[in-house]
Amino acid sequence: MTLVSSFFSNVNKIKDRNIDDYMMHGISLLKANIPKIIFVDKDMYDRIKLFENEYTKIILTKKEDIYLYNYINEITDFNIHSTNPLKDTIEYILIMCNKTEILRKAIELNPFNTNQFIWVDFGIKHVFTCNENDFQIKIENLKNKYYENVRIANIWNPNSMYKIDIFKDITWYFAGGVFGGKNESLIIFANHVKDFCINIIKEKHTIMWEVNIWFLVYKIYPELFNLYQSDHNHTIIDNY
């Protein structure tokens, strides 16, 4: 099992979290003894590079290298219904939609020679109430998990329809912070997500949260997924 994460700074503003908070939460993740690849921009790289070791490969990257930036000028009708517009900027949404591509890159590199990968948000510890040691144990226990398909946390019942606009309202059919599985399934998932993102930009001239995109993929390719019940708390890791 290889854990994959990333962090890009200066893409939005979150009232109750800044880069120092993300670094603190990220360091808790970095300390876990599980193979991991972390993609970060220079601001974060300079802060965490000392944590690179036999378990951890930290890769310097740039947000401008995200493929979706090639389409940003076509996003002319970005009008999502956000309760926190300073957080949900276009750049932030593009980076969220790029999680599957970061995972694809990690699978291509595969420095730890594994066939199971799991995405975990860099700052995910902020939804946990346990202490740092217990958090790290929870992360390390992921090494024992194996899934053929895309293992992903669902919050809303994916077989129920809610009165939402999928292109403007956030959906919580899936929690966005954790997903994983066998490398072949994750590559297929990444291909579908990329196709959906490009088509939505070209046809609707907008983009939305990654969890919305994932749900659209799920509706067409449900056989690709292995769901588990969760919420934005410890269950997102404990129930994986």
**Residue 166 confidence (pLDDT) above 80:** yes
| Least trusted range by pLDDT, from 11-15, 21-25, 164-168 | 11-15
* Cα–Cα distance for residue pair 127/117, rounded to 1 Å: 22
Task: Report the run of H or E that residue 136 belongs to, with start and end.
Answer: helix 132-140
Average pLDDT over residues 40-62: 94
**Residue 160 confidence (pLDDT) above 80:** yes
Per-residue pLDDT band at 14 (split at 50, 70, 90)? low
May I ask the CATH architecture of the domain 2-238? Alpha-Beta Complex (3.90)
pLDDT of residue 15: 59
Burial of 53 (0-12, 13-18, 19+ CB in 10 A): exposed
pLDDT of residue 13: 64
**Residue 69 confidence (pLDDT) above 80:** yes
Q: Per residue in 96-113, pLDDT tens?
A: 999 999 999 999 999 999
This prediction's pTM: 0.94
Contact 107, 186 (CB under 8 A): yes
Per-residue pLDDT band at 75 (split at 50, 70, 90)? very high
Average pLDDT over residues 201-226: 97
Pairing, β 2-7 against β 116-120:
parallel
pLDDT of residue 16: 57
Average pLDDT over residues 43-64: 94
Share of the chain above pLDDT 90, in %: 86
Q: Per residue in 184-212, pLDDT tens?
A: 999 999 999 999 999 999 999 999 999 99
Burial of 3 (0-12, 13-18, 19+ CB in 10 A): buried
Q: Please state, in angstroms and as integers, the Cα–Cα distance from residue 82 to each residue in 9, 35, 44, 129, following that order.
A: 20, 35, 27, 26
